[in-house]
Amino acid sequence: MSSHKDPLSAAVHTAHEWLNAVADRIGTEDRAISYHVVRAWLHTVRDRISVPASAHLTAQLPEILRGIYYEGWVPSHVPVAHGTEEFLTQFAHEAMISRDDVARAAGAVTDVFMDRCSPGQLDGVLAVLPVRLRELLRGFPEPSPEAGKPAVHNDTHGVAAVERRLQLLGDAVAVLARGLEELQTTGDDERRAVAAQQAHRILMKEHLTTAPGDH
């Protein structure tokens, strides 16, 4: 059968394009490596977000990557605990890399996905994850043991703190925007309420808002 008559050829070609882009970001010519890294990214993120968030994320994935995403997925078992250690262990195991290489590999996949998805599509999904997991998925390595010690309050620390809070605010806005977008198409008030609750949890992580009765 010639390739132009193969109904799956376009899907295979698109999947190869995404895998090649990840391979370029990682710095390898081995497509098998990029496949395992992408598969690890898809599964570790999938297991830590809700069923509606999964539907939102996969909406723009190539067909073959969408199939990989749902491979072995059990909707009733998600989301699992958001522990960093469990995330690193799962990602390293599925990608067949060391834990030290997880952040760089995950960041490469996130960059490619953000380039190829609609603006804000991935931000809205990742916004529901804890800050530390979002940092890993954006390519920031594990904090060193020094991170647990009292920080020196200098200008650099202050700028970093402001940037972190601005990122959280942006994530919260992305969640709300997604909820409003879904509301316009479905008219479901429950979706808006869920989005508002998710945004509130994000802000609470850095004490950017207060819980009722805290005034």
- CA 78 to CA 74: how far, in whole Å? 7
* pLDDT exceeds 70 at position 76: yes
The pLDDT tens digits of the residues spanning 34-73 come to 999 999 999 999 999 999 999 999 999 999 999 999 999 9
- CA 33 to CA 22: how far, in whole Å? 9
Residue 213 — very low, low, confident or very high, per pLDDT cuts 50/70/90? very low
Are 22 and 108 in contact by the 8 Å Cβ rule? The answer is yes
Q: What is the pLDDT of residue 188?
A: 60
Is 18-142 in CATH node 1.10.490.110?
yes
- CA 47 to CA 36: how far, in whole Å? 16
- What does the pLDDT average to over 135-140? 94
Q: What is the pLDDT of residue 5?
A: 78
Residue 212 — very low, low, confident or very high, per pLDDT cuts 50/70/90? very low
The pLDDT tens digits of the residues spanning 79-136 come to 998 899 999 999 999 999 999 999 999 999 999 999 999 888 899 888 999 999 999 9
Q: What is the pLDDT of residue 145?
A: 45
- CA 92 to CA 10: how far, in whole Å? 30
The pLDDT tens digits of the residues spanning 147-205 come to 444 444 444 444 555 555 566 666 666 666 565 555 555 556 665 556 656 655 555 54
- For the chain, domain boundaries: 18-142, 152-215
- CA 1 to CA 97: how far, in whole Å? 37
